Amino acid sequence: MAQAAESGKSDTKTPTSAGDETQPKSYSDLVSTLPARRGWVSLVQYQNYWLNPGRLQHIIPIKELYKPRADDIIVATYLKCGTTWLKALAFAITTRHAFAADAGDGGHPLLTVHPQEAVPHLEVHTPGQGLANIEKLPSPRLLGTHLPLSLLPPAVVSTCRVVYLCRQPKDVFVSLWHFVKGMRGGRSPVEMDAALSMFCEGVSPFGPVWEHYLEYWKESLARPEQVLFMRYEEMVSDPVRAVKTLADFFAVPFTEEEERAGVPEEIVRLCSFETLSGMENNRTGDLDCGDNTVIGKSTFFRKGKVGDWENHMTKEMGKKVDDVFQDKLKGSGLVF
């Protein structure tokens, strides 16, 4: 399997389409040679990670064609680790001088625009997004990604700021399970225990999850000024502190006057699960996520609760996840 993935790596050297270097060529021949797995989702293995075969053609070129800028900010997450919340917070923090968080009557973009649309994703290719459009964005750019660090350009961690948000793996699995079911109209091709077995093997979108976590964790230890590693549970327990931490890391700290005026608290309120999930714009309609994937906007807002796995998994299932992650993260200093 590893050999097949490596052979795929060499195949990506073929030139891109003439006229626009940011337009991905077809990688269908490469995809057909990669190890594949079917189950709760269909995936192929590329450079040790399991990825959506349709999206792979937009993922492979990123390492070569995305040109990090010194003032780029990247919000990176594994799936269902609080991506929508982190995008909203990062957007509200970095644009607060243009848009006041307490602006009423639709005055703030997040009151009318879904957070997933407010912050473009590097690997999502839709009208208005994708590498070609990202390269045209003025600086400073706020970008999102689910990609592991190894599939991004090496210059990312030495050039721009990266904030990574992780989450308790058991809650990640449950949230991902429901998200996939939501995309399929409430159905899944396999039972939860079968999906969990694949998850614990590392066979999940953008997985193995532990490798995804470890890549950013290790880089955060080596380059703390460039990579900020955060935990979802800690953000939930003290969101105001998290907002201040993010602002400091983004090099746009709150002034004393802003803190006295309660600006961090206003940002927390604006970006809260209750506020965002209650917006009509986020309750209805769909998001074009590229590669013939359309997801209902409300699907991105389920519960956001810490420890919700206990309502869906047995203790034995939870122990299975704990045992896997304890083994895979052993000696790294990262524990759950």
* CA distance linking residue 237 with residue 275, whole number of Å: 17
Q: Which of 58, 114, 125, 146 is catalytic?
A: 146
- 3-class secondary structure for 54-72? CCHHHHCCHHHHCCCCCCC
Token representation of residue 126: 């839709």
* Cis bond upstream, residue 15 (ω within 30): no
Q: Determine the Cα–Cα distance for residues 207 and 200; give it in Å rounded to an integer.
A: 10
Which amino acid, residue 198?
Answer: M
Whether 243 contacts 267, CB under 8 Å: yes
DSSP state of 207: B
97 annotated active-site: no
Q: Is the dihedral of CA 219, 67, 83, 42 positive or negative?
A: negative
SS3 at position 230: strand
Amino acid found at 128: G
Active site (catalytic) residues:
146
